[in-house]
Amino acid sequence: MIVPFGQRLAAAVAERGPLCVGIDPHRELLLDWGVGDDVDGLRRFTDAVVDALAGSVAVLKPQLAFYERFGSRGLAVLEDAVVRAHEAGALVLLDAKRGDIGSTMAAYADYLRSDHPMQVDAMTVSPYLGPESLRPAVSTATRFGGGLFVLARTSNPDAGAFQHAVLSDGARQRSVAQVVVDTVRGWNAADGFVGDPPTALAPSVDARSGWGPSTGSFGVVVGATLDALDVDLDGLGGPVLAPGLGAQGGSVSDLRRLFGAGTAVVATVSRDVLGAGPDPAALRTAAARWAEALAT
């Protein structure tokens, strides 16, 4: 029996807390660690992070671009890391931000297939070719128990240039970001529905709940650095991935201010944890500090 990603994520959060640590081996960080900006350095960095954190953190989020820049050898490093992260009990969220149409989107979504050599639990996707463009990813995720996090209201400073644009649908007006959230709400409510959500949530989705058995497998990305929450997340039915904590200026108090207690939030930290390396104990201490802050 395939356990859907939303249920696996809820279980991982219950056991380990809602912390997600990004694995972002960019050139400057590899050099700061003293491991070298090459494939060997990439492997040493990745092994250290996985070995230190995969046994205690709920989610690890490798950024695919930092592995792709080393070609096939870089992807081989990531493939090995995904296997070892799973063996240690962590879920793997591939930060790929893929978005395309038809067979191309289906190929990107293959990372969620059980027969893929680097199967991950979930991946980030971009919706800006339209809701229908993501149908292959939704279908693959549903079939193989994977998850998607869709870019909705991101934390980069000029995101509002697109995400605040207003779309009219008869008498109703919604921002692009809100249309994205509403679309994902529909997926969770109708088991793969793509487009505008139905008027009422399906009985299996409890619009009032955060984490729990009813947590959906489809979530949205909403930055923790927003001045105010300008999208309606009520009844989303799935998790919110909240990047921007730490070096980008977001805090645990910002999460509480923006999302309150009833939203299933996965809090993402990267540089504030990775900067503690390469010492494994220091990495664990940095992650534990964030985990403790999120738990209080």
Residue 279 has pLDDT above 70, yes or no: yes
Mean pLDDT of 172-181: 95
* Rounded Cα distance, 223 and 105, in Å: 25
Model confidence band, residue 169 (pLDDT cutoffs 50, 70, 90): confident
pLDDT at 204: 36
Query: Percentage of the chain surpassing pLDDT 70?
Result: 93
Lowest model confidence (mean pLDDT) among 186-200, 219-233, 238-252, 267-281:
186-200
Active site residues: 97
Tokens representing 73 are 């050898």
Residue-wise DSSP of 238-294: S-EEE--BSTTSB-HHHHHHHH-SSS-EEEEE-HHHHTT-S-HHHHHHHHHHHHHHH
- Closest to 218 in 3D by CA, of 242, 183, 245: 183
pTM assigned to the model: 0.92
Cα 37 to Cα 166: distance, rounded to the nearest angstrom: 43
Average pLDDT over residues 204-226: 79
CATH topology for 5-295 is TIM Barrel (3.20.20)
Query: Residue ranges per domain, the chain?
Result: 5-295
Helix pair 280-295, 252-259: axis angle to 10 deg: 40
The per-residue pLDDT for 171 is 73
Q: Is the dihedral of CA 236, 238, 242, 243 positive or negative?
A: negative
In this predicted structure, the answer to whether residue 208 has a pLDDT above a threshold of 70 is no
pLDDT at 210: 75
**Where residue 203 falls among pLDDT bands split at 50, 70, 90?**
very low
Q: Per-residue pLDDT for 170 more than 50?
A: yes
Q: Look at residue 191 in the predicted model and tell me its pLDDT.
A: 56
pLDDT band at 202 (very low <50, low <70, confident <90, very high): very low
The per-residue pLDDT for range 73-130, each reduced to its tens digit, is: 999 999 999 999 999 999 999 999 999 999 999 999 999 999 999 999 999 999 999 9
3-state helix, strand, coil split of the chain in percent (to 5) is 45, 20, 40
